[in-house]
Chains A and B, each alone.
Chain A
Amino acid sequence: MTRRHWQQVTPYLLLLPSTIFILIFFSYPMVESFALAFRADDGGWTLKHFEAMVTDVAFVPAVCTTLLLVVIIIPVQFVLALIMALLIQAKLKFSSIFLYIYSIPLGISELAAGIVWFALFTERGYLNSILINLGLLNTPFIFLSYQNTVWLISAVVLAEAWRATSIVMIILVAGLQSIPNEYLEAADVFGASPWDKVWRVILPLLKPSLQVALILRTILAFQVFAVVLAVTGRGLTLLAAEAYLWYNTYRNPNVAAALATLIMVLSIASTMIYLWGLRTPEEQSL
C-alpha cells in the first residue's frame, strides 16, 4: 500500500478497537435484553412481560419517583456545578484545591455513597448523634421512615447531588476553559456587570458543554438505584431499582428487561429533546 492509502485507512483502524468494544459490550447486550423483554417461555414473542411490568403494584410509584428525582436533582446539580466551575475559573487563591476537593465523590461508587448517606441519616447515625450532642434534639429523629416521603426524597437528592455534581462540574470547567478571554474582555470594555457576563456571554457560549452534561446526567439519573436502595430500602422505588429487584430478587429476567427497555426509551427521548432544544446555530459556535 502506498503512503496515501495508509493515510486514508488509518482513521478507521484507530476507530476499530472502540467500535469492537462498543459492539461487544454495549450493542450486543442491548439487543439481547431488548429481545428478552419480548420473548415468551415457549420461544415465541409476547407482550406479557410488559403487561406484568405495568400492572405491578410498584410500577406507577416507580415511574413517578424516577421522574420527580430527575426533575429535582438535575437543576440542583447544574446550579451547583456552574457555581463550582465559575469559582474554579475565577482563579482565586487555592482554586486548584477546590477542583480536587470537588472531584472526590467521583472516585466513590454509587452504592458506597448510598451507604455513607445512610450512615448519616439513620436513627443512630451521625446526624442524629450531632443534633443530640448539641442539645437540639432529645430523642433521635427518624429521617428514613417510609411514611416520611419528603425526607426520603430529600436524603436521596442530597446524596445524589453530593455524588454526581462533580461530573457535571468537570464538563463545565472544560467548557469554560475553551471560551476565549477576548469575549470576556470585550464585555468588560462595554461595562458589563459580572452577572451580565455570566448570563449573556458565558452561558450562551457554554451551551454545547451544557448539552453534553445534561444528556449525560439525565441518562445517568434514569439509571440511579443503588443510592436509593441503600438510603431508603423499600421506602422509595425507582424504575432502575425495580429492574434490579425483578432480576435479582424475583428472578424474572424478562420483566427486568422490559423495565430496562422502558428506561432506554426514556433515555433516548430525553436525549432527543436536549439535542433539539439546545441545538447551537452555526453562527454561534466557537
Chain B
Amino acid sequence: MQATYIVAANKKALPFLPAGADVNALTYAQYLQWAKNVKEKTGQAKFGFPAGASGLMHRFFQGFLVPAYSGGVVTTFANDDAAAGWKWMVDVWPYVNPQSTTYGFMQEQLLSEEVWVAWDHVARLKDAFENKPNDFVALPVPAGPKGRAFMPVVAGLAIPKTANNVNGAKALISYLTEPKTQITTLREVGFFPFTNVDYPGYVSPGFKLEGEAVTKQANSKDALPALLPQGLGAKGGDFNKVYLDTFKRIVLNNEDIKKVLGDQKKILQTVMTDAKAPCWSPDPSSGDKPCEVK
C-alpha cells in the first residue's frame, strides 16, 4: 500500500497553462505563471492549498517545496535555496484562494469549483476524481531546481519478534499483498498498489487517473523522493509546527524570509536534538547523531 500527494486540475484551467508547458512535467515557475494567468484572466483566485486546521499543508513544505528547491528537508532548512522556495510561496500566494486557510480536504473545493487546481493527498482528492472523472486531470507535482520532490507514503508491514502466531501473521501479509487485495484497498481507501498490477475494468476511472499520475510522478526523470519524517517519535507534532509557523510568518504575516528562517532554524534544531532523530532521505545520513540544520 502506498500513497502520495499529487495535483488535481479542473479541465477548465488547462487553457490557461503557460505556453510550452508540459502538463505532466511542470516546474514551480510554470505553476506560478499558471496560477497568475488564471487569476488575471478570470478575475478569481482558482488555485488552492489545504492550509486549514485539518489540512496537510506542512507536508507540502516538508516533502515538496523545500526539498525541490534545496535538495534537503532539515539540513538545508535555512539556506539560500530554501529561501528561494519560500519566496516562490510568497509569490504564488496572491493567486491562491485566500480561503485556503480554511481548507482541509481539497476534493470539496474542487467539486464545488471554488478552486480549479489544488495540491493534496490522493486520499483527499479521491472524491473529485471519483465523482467527476471527466472534469478533472491528475498531474504530477511541479519540479524545482533540485528535482521533482515528492513524499511517498509507504505502508510497511512487520511482525514483532514476540508475536504469538508468526505463521498466521505471514499468511495475513501474503493476503494483504495479493494484487486482488491491493485493488480492494485502493477502491476502499485510496492507497495504491506498490507492486505492478493491471487495473481491472471494475476499478473506477477516477482511481485509474490518480494511479497513473502517481506512477508518472514516481517514475519521472527528475524524481526526488523525500521520505516521511522519521525517528521523531512524540516530537512529530513539534516538527510539523516549525514548518507551519514558518509558513504563517513568511506568507501570512509577510515577515522577512531570512529572519524567519534564522529564528525557526533554532527551534527545528531543538526538536531534532530532543528527539535524537538522525537525518532521513533526501538529507545526507548523519549516522546515529541527530540531524543538524546547517
Residues of chain A whose beta carbon lies under 8 Å from any beta carbon of chain B: 56-58, 118, 122-124, 139, 142, 144-148, 229, 231-235, 241, 245, 249-252
Contacts and interface: CB of A to CB of B under 8 A. Distances in A.
B252 A123 contact: no
Interface string B38-68: 0000011000000111010000000000000
Nearest to B255: A57
Contact of B249 (A57, A124, A251): A57
Contacts, number: 69
B2 interface: no
Interface in B62-115: 97-99, 101-104, 112-114
B99 A251 contact: no
B241 A250 contact: yes
A57 B245 contact: yes
Nearest to A248: B237
B284 interface: no
Contacts of B241: 249-250
Given A142-B98, A144-B102, A146-B98, A233 B52 contact: yes
B222 interface: no
Given A145-B98, A249-B237, A252-B238, A122 B248 contact: no
A234 B52 CA distance: 5
A213 to B, nearest CB: 30
Given A233-B53, A249-B240, A57 B99 contact: no
Contacts of B102: 118, 122, 144, 231-235
Contacts of A245: 53
Interface in B221-260: 234, 236-238, 240-241, 245, 248-249, 252
Nearest to B246: A57
Interface in B249-277: 249, 252
A251 B43 CA distance: 40
